[in-house]
Each structure stands twice: as structure tokens, then as C-alpha cells.
């Protein structure tokens, strides 16, 4: 049953994340993603095979990258950073939106139609809230090809532009090495860095959101 909740959360969070990238790119002057039908909440347009598998294996992952042409942007550096930031921010907004009914159902202890449906709804909302926060935090890490690595591009000096571009080009391999290496250190030496950081930030944002709504 937990697999069903994860699939529901995956469809919601990946779709909102990638649609936000595409929508912001379009609003900033580049129609590439729109022409490819990526401004859509249909998860089939956004799911990436490796990124999806990583969610099931490691509980964090990514969707199919949104294409955009920097030459269509009025301010390429700034606009690229805004496009990158749009995805994680969409996940954060989604977390706030689902936290409200989730908190209401828990505090009111009401039963909608029947207990089974209430449990299903609560579990689905909880899964969406959890995965939204994980994707928000994970994608802001400055590790290529995650959104955080593209957002920091606005701060890279022109003299380091070539090195930065080379770093982005090697993104998938860098990310796999970081995730696998961190998992190996955690399982063998107990010195994992990535998972405790994500876990601590996750706890902070989840508690903060549930207190705010």
C-alpha cells in the first residue's frame, strides 16, 4: 500500500516541479518547453527513468530536464537562475497546500465517508507533503545537474564560466558518484553527510510548515 502512496506523490511532485520550470521559461521569453508540451501536469511528460528509480531506491530523485534556449532569454544568467529556482519553489508551495488539509484532518479527527477513505487520503497527503519537501531540499543542492547547480550560475564570475559549464556538462556522473559515495560511507563507516543534512532540513521545514498553516 505504501507503494501506491509513493506513486501518487511522485506524479504530483514531479509534475508540479517540471511544469513550473517550463512555465517560468515561457514567461521569460523561451517557448522551447511549451512547444514540447512540457507545460502540463501530466506526469508522463515529465518522468525520468533514472530519476524515478532513485526515488524508489534512495527516496530522492528528479524528473526529465526541461529544455530551454538561453538565447531566447532577455537576461540569460538571471533568467536561467529563476528557471532553476522555479521547480523547488513549486515543491515548497505544494507542501504548504497539502499541509493545510492534512493538518485539519489530523486535528479534527473527522471520518470522511468511511475510515478507510480517511486513512487513504491522509496517507496520500502525507506522502505528497514528504516528497515535496525532499525534492525541494534535494534539488537546491549545488550538485550538477540539480537545480541548485544552475541557480548558483548567477554568482559565477565570467572568468570561471568555462569551468562552470564543464561542471554542468558532467552533471549526471557527478550526481551518481555523490549519491553512491555518500550511501557507501553511511553503510560502511557511519559517516554519511548528505542524508543527515537532508534529514535535518526536512524535519525543520516539515515542522515549520505544519506550525504555520
Residues with catalytic roles = 18
Residue showing cell 522551447: 32
DSSP reduced 3-state for 47: strand
The answer to whether the beta carbons of residues 85 and 130 sit under 8 Å apart is: no
Residue 212 burial by Cβ neighbours in a 10 Å radius (0-12, 13-18, 19+): exposed
For 47, list phi and psi in degrees, rounded to 5.
-70, 135
Cell for 28? 521569460
Residue showing cell 530519476: 51
SS3 content of the chain, % helix, strand, coil (to 5): 75, 0, 25
DSSP 8-state secondary structure symbol assigned to residue 112: S
Q: How far is CA 48 from CA 45, 76, 153, 178, in A?
A: 9, 26, 24, 19
Distance CA 88, CA 208 (A): 17
Amino acid at each position: 500500500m505504501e507503494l501506491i502512496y509513493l506513486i501518487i506523490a511522485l506524479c504530483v511532485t514531479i509534475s508540479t516541479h517540471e511544469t513550473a520550470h517550463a512555465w517560468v521559461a515561457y514567461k521569460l521569453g523561451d517557448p522551447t518547453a511549451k512547444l514540447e508540451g512540457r507545460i502540463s501536469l501530466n506526469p508522463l511528460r515529465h518522468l525520468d527513468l533514472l530519476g524515478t528509480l532513485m526515488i524508489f531506491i534512495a527516496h530522492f530523485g528528479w524528473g526529465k530536464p526541461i529544455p530551454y534556449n538561453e538565447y531566447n532569454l532577455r537576461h540569460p544568467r538571471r533568467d536561467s537562475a529563476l528557471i532553476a529556482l522555479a521547480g523547488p519553489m513549486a515543491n515548497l508551495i505544494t507542501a504548504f497546500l497539502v499541509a493545510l488539509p492534512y493538518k485539519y484532518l489530523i486535528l479534527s479527527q473527522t471520518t470522511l465517508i468511511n475510515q478507510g477513505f480517511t486513512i487513504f487520503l491522509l496517507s496520500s497527503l502525507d506522502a505528497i507533503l514528504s516528497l515535496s519537501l525532499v525534492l525541494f531540499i534535494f534539488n537546491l543542492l549545488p550538485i550538477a545537474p540539480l537545480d541548485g547547480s544552475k541557480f548558483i550560475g548567477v554568482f559565477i564570475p565570467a572568468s570561471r564560466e568555462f569551468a562552470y559549464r564543464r561542471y554542468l556538462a558532467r552533471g549526471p556522473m557527478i550526481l551518481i558518484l555523490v549519491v553512491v559515495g555518500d550511501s557507501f560511507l553511511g553503510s560502511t563507516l557511519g559517516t554519511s553527510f548528505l542524508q543527515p543534512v537532508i534529514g535535518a532540513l526536512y524535519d525543520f521545514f516539515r515542522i515549520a510548515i505544519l506550525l504555520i498553516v
